[in-house]
Structure formats: C-alpha cells, structure tokens
Amino acid sequence: MLDRGVQMLEEAGYKVKLGDFVRVKERAAAEDRVKDFEKMWLDPEVDIIVMARGGSGAIDLIGKIDWEKLRSREMRVVGFSDITLIVNTMLSQKAGHPYSGSMISSFSQWDAASAKWFRAMLEGAPLKPVKVKVLKAGAAKGLPMGGHLERVHRLATATKFAPSAAGRVVFIECTAHYPAADLKKFLETMRDSGYLRDAAAVVFADFRHAGEERKALDAFLPVYAQTLDCPVFAGYPYGHCAKSYLIDFFREVSISESGTVSWK
C-alpha cells in the first residue's frame, strides 16, 4: 500500500522523498522518529510532509519534538488516525500548517472524488459544497480541527498539548477498534470537562462500527448533540473510509442551518 501511495503521488506530479524510517519493519525509537520528522520539516527540498501511516506511537513524539525549532519554517503536514495527535499539537504549538486526512498507505483505498479533493484542498482550489445531516440546528463558521476521537480525547484530557476548541469546527471520526460504549465515554468526558463548550460546531464523520454497535451510536449521537452548546452535524465524508475528504485546519469552513458545508 505504501508503494502504491507513492506511485499515486508521483503520477500526480509530486516528487517524493521518503523518510529514513519509512520502510523499517520494526518501530524505530521515539528519538529517531523525532529526528527524522524534524529533518524532513527543515529540509529545503521538502514542501509538504505526508505521513506514511498511523497505528500508534505519536503520543511518544509530541513531547520530544522541538516545536520552537520547527517554528522557524512553515511546513504543511498531512495525517490523521494516530497522527491526529501531531496535527492538533501543531495548532497548540503554533508550528506549521496542519491538514487532517488520508496518509500514503491508505491512498489506494480512495474513491476518485477523494483523490481529486485531496489535490484541490492542498492547492487552495474551489471545492464543492457537501451536504450533511443536522443533529442540532444552527449555522456555524470557523477554522476546523479534530480527527480520531480517542486521540482528540487523549490530547484534551491527558496532555498539555491540546489546542483550544473555542471558535473551531470540530470534526470527529473513529474506527471500530473502540466499542460504542468507549466512544460515548470519550464524548461525554470532553463535554463535561468543558472542552467543547465554546466550539463553533461539532461534525461527526465516519465511524466504522456495524450491527448493534452502529445502532447504539446512531441512537446516542442525536441525544448527545442536544447536550452541546453549539450546532451539531453528522455524515461528513472523512475518516477511515473510501470517501475521505482532506481537511485544512487553516481554511475556514461554514455550515448552513440546513447542513450545507462550504469551504472558503
């Protein structure tokens, strides 16, 4: 999947330069991965870092990265899933330009619309409006943030690296690795802690749950939405799925009361 993702980037006209540990089968030490990340960030030949994969381990990096050093150069970074920890920490540390979306190893799972959207979002090109379901009515506007629910929850409740959600449109997705009961606890904790109190909106995207787990989430989310102080929407095409639209954390998004998502 990695080779196919690299090929897709090259076919799109991008020159690809791989990090030192991308092809290493065993996970490199956190210190080595930090050095590789910082090296790529400061490399004058690199214009954008697209993470190869997610999985786990980003929590070991965010406290070791020299964010002050990285502020010396603006760098675009793309990633989600476990990389949610890094792109959201970039916001709190005011370093670089974060994007949340599919990584190289998952490019081959895209549908055609997602591949086209990826390039358009990176290039700042016009994007078509997207229709979503309204769970709690209200119009919203703001810069986005968010990603994998468990990782956003961990940042907000167990680290000092969580960016403020105030005025932000918070996009949330998650895999079925976490049962519906856990997702409920994550969301309730984020609400009860006040983390989502001043959010401009919350937008639920893809959850990979099926069967009874899916039914439990479908029953919970509309009720949960009514307990938040902002508009809430669902069904945005983003997450661990074939239709997954890249999100630029520095590109303003607006959502109408009827659920039309528009990118500035």
In tens, the pLDDT along 124-166 reads 999 999 999 999 999 999 999 999 999 999 999 999 999 999 9
Q: What is the pLDDT of residue 25?
A: 63
Can you give the three-state secondary structure of 132-182, one letter per residue? CEEEECCCEEECEEEEEHHHHHHHHHHCCCCCCCCCCEEEEEECCCCCHHH
Task: Please tell me the distance from the alpha carbon of residue 157 to that of residue 171, in angstroms, as a whole number.
Answer: 17
Task: Identify which of 118, 114, 185 has the alpha carbon closest to the alpha carbon of residue 149.
Answer: 185
Q: For residues 1-16, give the mean pLDDT.
A: 87
Q: What is the pLDDT of residue 240?
A: 93
Q: Are residues 225 and 100 in the same domain?
A: no
Q: For residues 215-226, give the mean pLDDT.
A: 97
Q: Are residues 77 and 155 in the same domain?
A: no
Q: Are residues 257 and 138 in the same domain?
A: yes
Final residue of a structural domain among 91, 123, 155:
123
In this structure, what CATH number is given to the domain that contains residue 253?
3.50.30.60
Q: For residues 80-104, give the mean pLDDT.
A: 96
Q: Are residues 101 and 143 in the same domain?
A: no
The residue ranges of DSSP E strands in 25-80, in sequence order, are 48-50, 76-78
Tally of domains in the chain: 2
The answer to whether 246 and 79 have CB atoms below 8 angstroms apart is no
Q: What is the pLDDT of residue 109?
A: 87
Q: Are residues 94 and 139 in the same domain?
A: no
The residue range of the domain holding 24 is 2-123
Q: Are residues 104 and 151 in the same domain?
A: no
Residues 235-253 pLDDT 10s: 999 999 999 999 999 999 9
Q: Are residues 9 and 48 in the same domain?
A: yes
Q: What is the pLDDT of residue 2?
A: 83
Q: Are residues 161 and 62 in the same domain?
A: no
